[in-house]
Structure 1
Amino acid sequence: VGVMGDERTYDYAVALRAVTTTDFMTAESADIPWEIIGKATSRIVNEVKHVNRVLYDCTGKPPATIEME
């Protein structure tokens, strides 16, 4: 549940995850400036239909597949 303007919405959340890796087995969270994350968040919420929330995942990745599950 989110709020857009003065109304409640039941739209989707989007997760952003930026990582750096050298072997595609492990990964570390990329150092993205908060200003860039804020701009991306604003654009996604305002330009992508049915999205009312953006989450930023800053966790690393232990050995295994690099894809988000």
Structure 2
Amino acid sequence: MYQHPEYQVDKSLWFYQVWSLMMVLSEIPEWRPLDGEGQDKAELLKKKWERKRLVMSPSIPARFDKMTQQNGRE
């Protein structure tokens, strides 16, 4: 679930490990685990690609600030 899309067992790069960590850390501001949202494989795959899009978005800091303000954690 948290594996880099281009991960290759025989070619493990540090970037793949960082990617996995970013995926896990990206859940923390929302406090919603990915695993609990999908019941079938297609839905989980959809959530995975949505999370990838969010993680790669240049507006992550702005979204994080907005979420923390909504949760009262400034």
Measured against the shorter chain, the TM-score band is 0.3 to 0.5
Q: What TM-score results when the alignment is normalised by the length of structure 1? A: 0.32
By relative contact order (CA 8 Å, sep 6+), the higher-ranking structure is 1
Larger helix share, 1 or 2: 2
